[in-house]
Amino acid sequence: MIENQNTNLFIASDGIDPRQVPQRTLYTGAKIPAIGLGTFGSDRFTGQVIAEAVKDAIAVGYRHIDCAAVYGNEHLIGQSFRQVIQHGIKREELWITSKLWNDKHGEKDVIPACEKSLRDLQLDYLDLYLIHWPFPNYHAPGVDVNSRDPYATPYVHEAYMRTWRQMEKLVDLGLVRHIGTSNMTQSKLKLLLRDAEIKPACNEMELHPHFQQSEFFKFVLDNGIIPIGYCPIGSPKRPDRDKTETDTVVVEDPVIVKIAKRINVHPAVVCVKWAVQRGQVPIPFSIHRKNYLSNLQSAVSDPLTDEEMQAIAAIDKNCRLIKGQVFLWQGAKDWTDLWDVDGQIVS
Ligand SMILES: NC(=O)c1ccc[n+]([C@@H]2O[C@H](COP(=O)([O-])OP(=O)(O)OC[C@H]3O[C@@H](n4cnc5c(N)ncnc54)[C@H](OP(=O)(O)O)[C@@H]3O)[C@@H](O)[C@H]2O)c1
């Protein structure tokens, strides 16, 4: 590692200067790096391996890490944060997100759940705390898509608002700087915007070239919310339980492959680059240095051409990969009930 003279940061000699990485400005005026590193290993990697990748990703220039209690690795990632901070990275240079899991929506559970994430991550505050799913629910990690929580219910706005009030308290207590949503729909977010005292700063949503959610994406931006895009590469190695026969493979799309050949990168990198250029904040996952480094490089290299951006806009297949089947309640039709496809909240 070499020391960066100007900011006393430590960066790897082949890394990217974090000051070159674009940022997005939130409605509070705070800035979030325009790309982050995901930390959900899709059951393929140990928490230790992911925590090592987080440490090295920070060394190569990442400053934004997307965590969640349910990923089961925050206590190990916390050790990485402590070490990089000991090595001279300032806490305020990092953007760290965590998420409230579905079995902690109860009014008495929200603050302790956040405090546990803070302890595990060895932090005094989070930059962003999200409600991971808008459904209070419990299922054991790794269960089959046909598994159901017998107590699962559809979305109940009053219940969500009770949870949101506790999220707002976390801001008042100084434990989190921003609060936000994840796996929402436009209909649900509209209600939240109507009733929130503290507005969501970010909405984490599935976004990749085969699932562009253009209308919802625009709604989010128009309301001053930053869209964070998960599965930006179409999560090619997600668990088999999350795959169905109709799912498409974005990294095999001829439009993506052609652009990848032109700029001499893996098709995954084109997806990440498109995401940054379109204006969402992608959080690609990899523990492989070559991959997470090239994803970060894509945020600072020459932009895709207008023709390429238009070509990618035209390959949307409305193909949602993370369908959330395990959150279904008794009597629900199928996973589309979770996503209010005709604009009505299904109850
Ligand atoms: N809010 C939510 O509900 C939610 C849901 C899902 C995910 N997330 C977050 O989003 C993150 C990303 O989602 P994801 O991990 O499912 O999907 P993803 O980032 O779309 O895909 C990850 C896969 O892409 C491959 N990859 C990454 N960079 C590559 C490169 N440059 N070249 C070739 N292959 C590359 C990796 O393969 P290798 O392993 O071989 O490197 C990895 O397995 C998660 O880690 C998590 O933090 C949030």
Two tokens at 175? 């434990």
Query: Which residue has the CA at smallest separation from atom 25 of ligand 1?
Result: 286
Mutating to test ligand 1, I would choose from 252, 272, 286, 323 the residue with most ligand atoms within 8 A of its C-beta, which is 286
Low pLDDT (below 70) residues in the chain? 1-10, 141
Query: Which residue has the CA at smallest separation from atom 4 of ligand 1?
Result: 230
Give per-residue pLDDT as tens, 164-176: 999 999 999 999 9
Ligand 1 surroundings by CB, under 6 angstroms: 38-40, 42, 66, 132, 182-183, 204, 230-238, 266, 268-269, 283-286, 288, 291, 294-295, 322
Query: Which residue has the CA at smallest separation from atom 28 of ligand 1?
Result: 291
- Which residues share a beta bridge with 64? 95
Nearest Cα to Cα of residue 281 among 196, 223, 221: 221
Query: Which residue has the CA at smallest separation from atom 11 of ligand 1?
Result: 38
Of 62, 71, 160, 292, which is the active-site residue? Answer: 71
Distance of CA 279 to the CA centre of its chain: 14
Q: Reduced to 3 states, what is the DSSP secondary structure of residue 147?
A: coil
Residue 285 Cα to ligand 1 midpoint, Å, equals 3
Residue 284 Cα to ligand 1 midpoint, Å, equals 4
Catalytic site includes residue 160: no
Alpha carbon distances (Å) from 312 to 174, 300, 315? 41, 19, 5
Nearest Cα to Cα of residue 340 among 258, 253, 219: 219
Residue 2 Cα to ligand 1 midpoint, Å, equals 28
Mutating to test ligand 1, I would choose from 285, 295, 298 the residue with most ligand atoms within 8 A of its C-beta, which is 285
Query: Which residue has the CA at smallest separation from atom 21 of ligand 1?
Result: 235
- pTM, full prediction: 0.96
Q: Are 232 and 282 in contact (CB under 8 A)?
A: yes
Looking at residue 240, its pLDDT comes to 81
* Atom of ligand 1 at shortest range from CA of 182: 1
Sequence-distant (≥ 6) Cβ neighbours of residue 308 within 8 angstroms: 259
* Atom of ligand 1 at shortest range from CA of 204: 1
Nearest Cα to Cα of residue 136 among 165, 172, 109, 169: 109
Q: At what angle do helices 74-86 and 47-59 cross, to 10 degrees?
A: 30
Domains plus CATH for the chain?
Answer: 2-241+248-332 (3.20.20.100)
Looking at residue 10, its pLDDT comes to 62
Dist. CA 180–CA 228, nearest whole Å: 10
Query: Which residue has the CA at smallest separation from atom 31 of ligand 1?
Result: 291
DSSP element (H, E) containing 67: none
